[in-house]
Amino acid sequence: ATAGLLRFSPAPRALACLYWAYLSRDERAILHRRARSYGTLRDKLSDDAAQASLAAEVEAPLRAMADTYRIPAGPSEIRAATQYLVQELGTDQVRFSTSTEAIACKDALLAHLEDLGARRALEDDLRGLEAFPAQRLELARSYFHAFSKGRSGTSASHAVALEAAVLLVTERVLDRQSVAAVTSVDVTGLLGQHPRIRERTLTVRLDEFLDRMSMFVHERVPRFRHLRELRAQVVAREQSRLRLDEYMPRVLSSFVRNRLIDEVYLPLIGANLAKQLGAAGAAKRTDLMGLLLLISPPGYGKTTLMEYVASKLGLVFVKVNGPSLGHGVTSVDPAEAPNATARQEVEKISFALEMGNNVMLYLDDIQHTNPELLQKFISLCDAQRRMEGVWRGRTRTYDLRGKRFCVVMAGNPYTEAGTKFQIPDMLANRADTYNLGEVLEGKGDLFASSYLENALTSNSVLAPLSGRDPKDVHLLLRLAQGEEVPTTNLSYGYSGAEVQEIVSVFRHLLRVQTVLLKVNQQYILSAAQEETFRTEPRFQLQGSYRNMAKIAEKVVSAMNPEELDRLVSDHYQAEAQTLTGGAEANLLKLGELRGTLSAKELERWNAIKQEFQRVKRMGGSGDDPVSRVTGTLSGLDAQLAGIRETILEASKEARKARKPGVFDAPEGALGPLLVSLEKGLRELSQPKVSLEVKQQPPPGFGDLLAQQISLIQNTLV
C-alpha cells in the first residue's frame, strides 16, 4: 500500500484532527463542502490554487487552537496541518488516516494501565473533561509522555505520542482509517560521518524527509534569499560610502608606453617596487621596505604612470589628493579633519591600511600637505612596515610585513607653493626619488622623443600610430629628421600620401619639441634658484607633455614655419594670461629662448632685468623705508667692493708691466694716492646709518589724550 496522507508527519495530522474534532456542526459542513469542491477542481482541471488558498485561510484559527491547547508548533507544522486537513476533507466521506505506530502506542498504554488497574480511572477522567478539551488533551499527553519516558524499549517518538494522545481523546468523535504502509527505510553500510548516521546506518522516514524539505523550501530558502538581498544592500551601501569604484586603476586612453617609460622609468620603478612588494625567485628580499617619491613639474604624467603600473600589477589604486588634505591635516584620524573633503581623504589612508594586501597607496601633490602628516609614514617605509591608523573610530596598529603593499608619493616643488614643499629628512632617506621632468644622464634622446610619442593621440593624423607597432613611429621620426629610411621596413601598409602627411606633421612637432625642451629646462632652472641670487624675473611658463598635447592637436601638415611659430606664440600668450604682472617678462624671456626678440623687445627685456636688479638692490619693492635704505647701502657696499677689486687688479697688472726703477721709491707720485684711496674705500665700506622719524601729532590730540588719562585715573581711584 502507498503511504497516502501518511506523508504528513504525526504532529501536523494530530493538530488537524484536533481542530476538526472541536468545530461546530455548521463550521464542519461549510469547510467540508468547500474542500470537497476544491478537490474536484484539482482532480478535473488540474488547478490546486483554490486548495492552497483554503489551507492558508485555515492557518490562523488552527494556530490559535494550538496556542490555546499549549501545543508547540512552528510555522511549518501549522502549514502542513492545514494542507493535510484540506486533503482529508476533499473526499465525500471524511476518514482521517492514522498510522499503525500511533494505534500501537495507544494500545500499549491502555494495556499497560490495564495491567496496573488504572485504565478505568483514566477513561473516567477523560469522560469527565469532555467539556474542557484543552485540559483533556493535556491529561492524555501527560500519560503518553510518562509512558514513553518510562519504557526504554519503546520506539514512540514525541510526534507519535502526540498523535496517539489526540487519537485517544477524539476516538469517539472522528472516523479513522488505519494505514499500514511502510514509511521508513534503513540505509546501511554507509562510510560517511554525519549526525544522522549512526552505526553506519541512516534511517529515512518519508514524513520526516518531506517535513525537512518543506522547511527548507518555505523557511530556509526565503531566509537565505533575504540574507543575500540584505548582504547586497549592505555591500552597495558600503561601496557607496567607501566609493570603491574610485580604487580601480583606469589607464587613460591617451597613455602611450613610450621608449622613455620602457627603458628608463619602468626599470627604476620596478627596482623600487621589488624592495616594497618583493621579487620572485632567488632575488626575493626579506627586508621589504622603502618609498617611491616622484617629483616633476605638472603635466609629466606621474599619476598616469603609476595608475598604469598598478593596473598591470593587479593592485588596488588608492589615490589620496594632497590639495584636499591641505596643510591643516596633521593626523590620520578622520574625526580631526577640518572639513568633509579632508576627512574623505584621511579615510582613504585608513581604508588602504585596513585592506593591507594588494594595495598601492598613492599620495598626490604632497607639496600641499603638512610635513607632520608625512612623518606618520616613516615607520611604514622602513623595515618595521608598521603604521598607526584609525578605522571606524578605533585606533589600530597595522603590521604590513610580508604583504603586497607599496607607498608612492608625488609632488611638484616648482610651483608657487614650492617654498612650502617640505618632506621629513627621515622619510626622504627611505625614498628612491626620481624627477620625471629632468633629463637623466645619457637619456636625452629618449626624453626628447617622449614628447612626440605622448602627443600621438592628440593629433588626428598621428592618432592611428598609437595602436600600431611602436617601431613604425621611430622609423617615421627618422624620416622626419632627414634620414634615408626605406618605407618597406614599416610593419603597416601605408600609402605614399599617408607617409608624406605623417612625416610632415612630425617635422612640425620636432620644431615645437625644440621650443618646449628649452622652456622646460629654463622653468626648472628658474624654479630651483633662490630669490636672493636671481638676476632676472622668475620664469613660470612650462614646457610639459600637456603643453605638447595642446599644441599638437592644432598642428596640420599644410602649415608653414611662420604659421607654426605663430601657433606656439599664441599658445604661450594664452598661458601667460594667468601670470598677470609677470606675463610681459615671461613672454620676453620666451622670445629670448626662441631667438625671436626684435631690437625693441630686446631693449625692453634688458631694461626689465636692470630694473629688477635695481629694485632687489634697494631691498625689494616693499614700502618699509628702513629696508629700502639698508638695501641701498648694501648695494653701494657691493659696488665699492667691485671698484676696489678692479683697481687692485689694475694695480697688479701695472706692477707687472712697469719698467725697473720706476715707482720703486715710496715717495713716488702714485703710492700716496693709492693709500689715500684705500683708506677712503674702507671708510665707505662701513657706513654709519642714522635714521630719525619725525611725525607731528594732529591738532587737539594732546588734549584728548590728557582727558583719557584723567578719566582712567579717576576710575581706578
| Nearest Cα residue to 510 out of 542, 551, 458, 471 | 551
Residue 156 DSSP code: -
Host H or E run for residue 179? strand 176-179
What 3-state DSSP class applies to 483?
coil
Percent of the chain with pLDDT over 90: 25
CA distance linking residue 583 with residue 589, whole number of Å: 10
The SS3 of residue 626 is: helix
Residue tagged 518519508 (cell numbers): 206
- pLDDT of 628: 54
> What are the angstrom distances between the C-alpha of 570 and each of 513, 557, 564, 580, 587?
16, 18, 10, 16, 11
SS3 annotation, 291-322 = EEEEECCCCCCHHHHHHHHHHHHCCEEEEEEH
Helices (H), 379-495: 425-429, 444-454, 470-480
Supply the pLDDT for residue 169. Answer: 86
Tell me the CA distances in angstroms from 444 to 300, 301, 438, 500, 517, one per residue in order.
15, 18, 9, 27, 10
Q: How confident is the model at residue 529 (pLDDT cuts 50, 70, 90)?
A: confident
Strands 184-187 and 386-391: unpaired
pLDDT in tens, 240-287: 887 888 888 888 877 888 888 888 889 999 989 988 888 876 666 667
Q: What is the pLDDT of residue 152?
A: 46
Averaged over 409-428, what is the pLDDT?
A: 75
| CA quadruple 333, 336, 341, 342: dihedral sign | negative
**Cβ(647)–Cβ(602) under 8 Å?**
no
Query: Which residues are paired to 295 by β-bridges?
Result: 411, 435
Distance (Å, whole) CA 76 – CA 223: 14
Q: CA–CA distance from 157 to each of 1, 201, 556, 646 (Å)?
A: 23, 19, 93, 122
pLDDT at 282: 66
Separation of first and last alpha carbons in the chain: 121
Q: What is the pLDDT of residue 711?
A: 67
Measured CA to CA, the distance from residue 329 to residue 388 in angstroms comes to 15
Given a contact cutoff of 8 angstroms between Cβ atoms, the answer to whether 319 and 360 are in contact is no
Output phi, psi for 185, to 5 deg. -150, 145
CB-neighbour burial class of residue 504 (10 A; exposed 0-12, middle 13-18, buried 19+): middle
The one-letter amino acid at 627: S
Cα distances from 631 to residues 429, 444, 607, in angstroms, run: 39, 42, 20
| Distance set, CA 143 to CA 77, 112, 139 (Å) | 23, 11, 7
Question: Contact, 409 vs 291, CB < 8 A?
Answer: yes
Strands 394-399 and 386-391: antiparallel
Q: What is the dihedral of CA 511, 512, 518, 519, to 10 degrees?
A: 160
Q: Which helix (H) or strand (E) holds 362?
A: strand 359-364
Q: Strand order of the sheet with strand 316-321?
A: 316-321, 359-364, 405-411, 291-295, 431-435
Phi then psi for residue 694, to 5 deg, are: -115, 125
Of 265-279, 548-562, 644-658, which range is least confident?
Answer: 644-658
The residue type of 106 is K
pLDDT single digits (tens) 335-350:
999 999 999 999 999 9
Bigger pLDDT: 308 or 259? Answer: 308
What are the pLDDT digits (tens) for 373-403? 999 999 998 888 899 989 888 998 999 888 8
Q: What is the pLDDT of residues 433-448, one digit of tens each?
A: 988 877 666 778 888 8
Over the stretch 693-705, which tens digit does the pLDDT of each residue have? Answer: 555 666 666 676 6
Cβ proximity of 162 and 11 under 8 Å:
yes
Residue 198, helix vs strand vs coil? strand
The closest alpha carbon to 84, from 111, 106, 120, 54, belongs to 54
Of 462, 463, 454, nearest to 436 by C-alpha is 454
245 grid coordinates: 569604484
Which amino acid is located at 215 in the chain? M
Instruction: Enumerate the H helices of 618-686 as residue ranges.
Output: 625-657, 670-685
For the segment 194-218, what is each residue's pLDDT rounded down to a tens digit?
888 988 999 888 888 888 898 899 8
Enumerate long-range contacts of 530-539, CB under 8 Å, 24 or more apart: 534/612, 534/616, 535/609, 535/612, 535/613, 536/585, 536/589, 536/608, 536/609, 536/612, 537/582, 537/585, 537/586, 537/589, 537/608, 537/609, 537/612, 538/582, 539/586, 539/589
Q: Is 371 helix (H, G, I), strand (E, B) or coil?
A: helix
Classify residue 280 as exposed, middle or buried by CB count within 10 Å of its CB (0-12, 13-18, 19+): exposed
Q: Are the C-beta atoms of 559 and 505 separated by less than 8 Å?
A: no
The predicted pLDDT at position 154 comes to: 43
- Quote the DSSP letter at residue 432: E
pLDDT per position as a tens digit, 113-156: 998 889 999 888 988 888 888 888 889 889 988 888 766 444 44
Which of 488-497, 536-545, 670-679 has the weakest average pLDDT? 670-679
Q: How far apart are CA 201 and CA 188, in angstroms?
A: 4
**pLDDT by residue (tens digit) across 624-635?**
555 555 555 555
What's the confidence (pLDDT) of residue 138? 86
DSSP 201: B
Task: Give 700 or 90, the one with higher predicted confidence.
Answer: 90
Residues with Cβ within 8 Å of residue 110, at least 6 apart in sequence: 119
| Residue 186 main-chain phi, psi, to 5 deg | -105, 125
- Average per-residue pLDDT for the chain: 83
Whether pTM exceeds 0.85: no
Grid cell, residue 25, equals 456542526
Query: What are the grid coordinates assigned to 636, written together?
Result: 653701494
Q: Which residue in this structure is represented by grid cell 624592495? A: 275
Identify the DSSP state of 219.
Answer: I
Using DSSP's 3-state secondary structure scheme, residue 187 falls into strand
Rounded Cα distance, 545 and 452, in Å: 9
The DSSP secondary-structure symbol of 469 reads -
Nearest residue to 173 via CA among 209, 127, 214: 127
The answer to whether residues 565 and 573 touch, using CB atoms and an 8 Å cutoff, is: no
Q: What is the CATH number of domain 247-435?
A: 3.40.50.300
φ, ψ of residue 118 to 5 degrees: the values are -115, 5
Q: Tell me the domain boundaries of the chain.
A: 4-180, 183-242, 247-435, 444-617
